[in-house]
Amino acid sequence: MDKLQSPESLLAEGIELICETPVADEYRSLRVAASLAPRSAEGAAIGLPNTLFGVTLRKEGKLIGMGRIVGDGGLAFQIVDIAIQPAYQGRGLGRIIVAELVEYLRKTAPAGAHISLFADGPAKHLYAQFGFEETTPASVGMSLPNRASS
């Protein structure tokens, strides 16, 4: 496994960290490549413009990593869509993305705002490094499945 990277070493490798939201097609492609659930073109077209804050990692213009914050901008914020191209995983790039997102939240989220995320598998260890805590058993994350109709 490659060693973890610092933000400074990204530049040496030609990887750019950009505060932006990816366009729908590249967003959808990266989610699938990173083994996240696919999202519809319609959903991406509607949802991505409503991103509060987004971060991408690009190499030679190609999207290799991303993360977003969604919410109402005052009461509730959620970190979503942390994804890294498989060839770049395991090098600390997810940590760099989360650090940028958390920095944004520390600067902009009002005191008492609810900040949340869903952690899949061992990703909870990454998020714990930034102060996120498991909420069970006091509360449990739940979702309402929304399947496309045939």
What token pair was written down for 121? Answer: 């598998």
Within 8 A by CB and 6+ apart from 116, the residues are 76, 77, 78, 79
- One-letter amino acid identity for 125? H
Q: How many CA atoms lie within 13 A of 67 on its CB side?
A: 20
- Of 27, 88, 104, 127, which is the active-site residue? 127
Residue 27 annotated among the catalytic residues of the structure = no
Catalytically annotated residues: 127
